[in-house]
Amino acid sequence: MKNFQRLLLTTLALLMFNFASALEIVDVKSDYWAGQEIIHAIQNGYISVIDGNKFKPENTMSRSEFVTSLLKVIQRQNDELVQDTTFKDITSLTPNKRNIMLSEQIRMAFGYPDKTFKPTRAINHNETMSMISNITKADYSAYDITRFSDYKLIPLWARRAYIKNVANGLYVNHPDENKFTPSNNLTRAEAAVLFDRISNNLDKVQEKYRDMADDLLGNNGGFHFNKAQFIADNTLGLAPFATNNKVRVYDNKIIIENGNILIGTLTSSDVRVKKDLVGHEYIFTAPNDVYTNEGTFLYPKGTEFYARVEQIGYSAWRSRAKKSTLVFHKYSFPNGFTYDMQGVPFTNNDKVVYVNNIKSAKKAKELTNYKGSNKNYIIDCAHQRFPLLKYNMDTNDTIYILLTGDMVIPLNDEYFNLRTKKSVLEQEDTDM
């Protein structure tokens, strides 16, 4: 019996070898740049031949074809569907409907801002890089992609994906190794090379996707703060005079450290100091999408920062309100999800808000290194940094916001949905 099993295994191995040797694709010559990877893609069932023995390597791939192939590469094509699709253009007649739904379920594909997937549209390099980045580990330090001559053509929403994929070696750029051609459509040959590289590096696929069905049924969307894995230190350069510009990136959260400075534009009612009351709130809004210097997305244009009047300062005889102290206590994403923060208004621009004799970097550093972040410290810091508003502030005036405590951005489903959306002014048809 054992001899028969050995013979059977030997015969099967020979058959597979002969199949590989005999496999002849009439439109892919032996010296074609992606010839070997194309053979592997066909043998593994990632991409099918066309018209019997043609591959058509320069043809494009549709978005539904790409996610179908990528699911096979990472061995997730047989996952159980535990949620319905949110893509409004996916119907029972859509080709590869189940695979599209699976790709959404494991957060590999997020679709377009108008909640469509556009399954028959040809996928481009930006979209390809984004999908690969969504499912792979982020075990990279800030990687420099400036050696590629066209890196500036990468839209901001996709830049972090390129940084990550280049660091992991999961990208393709043929024939010019110094260019990404980010807006070009992906060819079937390029897809074969990508699939080959991913299949040989499955250890770079995020482990948490192994238990995605459980995560979708609860457990905070699969993101556990007590199991955070550090990824990299980044820097934030919104204000050159900030005493701290460090941002820590983890696999489930981003921390903008105490001492960083953000930018906000007054979008609520005008500030009228004489009419202020303790507890009154003002809203300042982020005027642009914000990224670290390394390309990590932090928060989108339209994010709101809420400042509350904590104290009222009166004239010497307390006859009338003369100034008020503002303290930032929460921020809210455009989708409505709100989180705590701690900060005070701060700037060295006399035109907007003045600094009360705090011009020394040493003194500023002493303030931001204060141990603790309780209410008394925030108020004390506000008195020194932004001693109390002594003038009226109009809508659309801009200030700098000093973080007096670490600002934590959770990388949950709500955040990833935000991350896939383009700035209204910068982009019109974003995809992830």
**Mean of pLDDT over the chain:** 75
**Domain architecture of the chain: domains with CATH:** 22-222 (no CATH), 226-419 (2.40.128.260)
Report strand pairing: 398-403 vs 297-299: unpaired
Helix (H, G, I), strand (E, B) or coil at 108: coil
State pLDDT tens for residues 106-159: 889 988 888 899 999 999 999 999 999 988 876 555 567 888 999 999 988 888
Report how far residue 134's alpha carbon sits from residue 107's, in angstroms, rounded to the nearest whole number.
7
pLDDT at 266 over 50: yes
Torsion of CA 388, 393, 398, 401, to 10 degrees: 20
Q: Which pLDDT does position 150 carry in this prediction?
A: 94
Report how far residue 79's alpha carbon sits from residue 103's, in angstroms, rounded to the nearest whole number.
10
Q: Which pLDDT does position 220 carry in this prediction?
A: 37
Mean pLDDT over 33-52 rounds to: 89
Q: Which pLDDT does position 189 carry in this prediction?
A: 97
Report how far residue 425's alpha carbon sits from residue 416's, in angstroms, rounded to the nearest whole number.
20
pTM to 2 decimals? Answer: 0.50
Residue with the two structure tokens 């450290």 = 257
Q: Which pLDDT does position 82 carry in this prediction?
A: 83
State pLDDT tens for residues 393-426: 677 878 888 887 789 898 877 777 665 443 332 3
State pLDDT tens for residues 80-115: 888 889 899 999 899 999 999 999 988 899 888 888
Burial 215-230 (b: 16+ CB within 10 A, else e): bbeeeebbbeeeeeee
State pLDDT tens for residues 276-292: 667 778 899 999 999 98
Q: From residue 304, how far is each of 179, 184, 208, 335 by CA, in Å?
A: 37, 35, 31, 11
| Distance of alpha carbon 58 from the chain centroid | 30
Q: Which pLDDT does position 107 carry in this prediction?
A: 86
Report how far residue 247's alpha carbon sits from residue 236's, in angstroms, rounded to the nearest whole number.
7
Quick one: which of 237, 236, 245, 261 has its CA closest to 352? 261
- Please give the residue that has the higher pLDDT: either 193 or 361: 193
Q: Which pLDDT does position 209 carry in this prediction?
A: 53
- Please give the residue that has the higher pLDDT: either 138 or 328: 328
Helix (H, G, I), strand (E, B) or coil at 385: helix
**Tokens representing 136?**
């792979």
State pLDDT tens for residues 174-201: 999 999 999 999 999 999 999 999 998 8
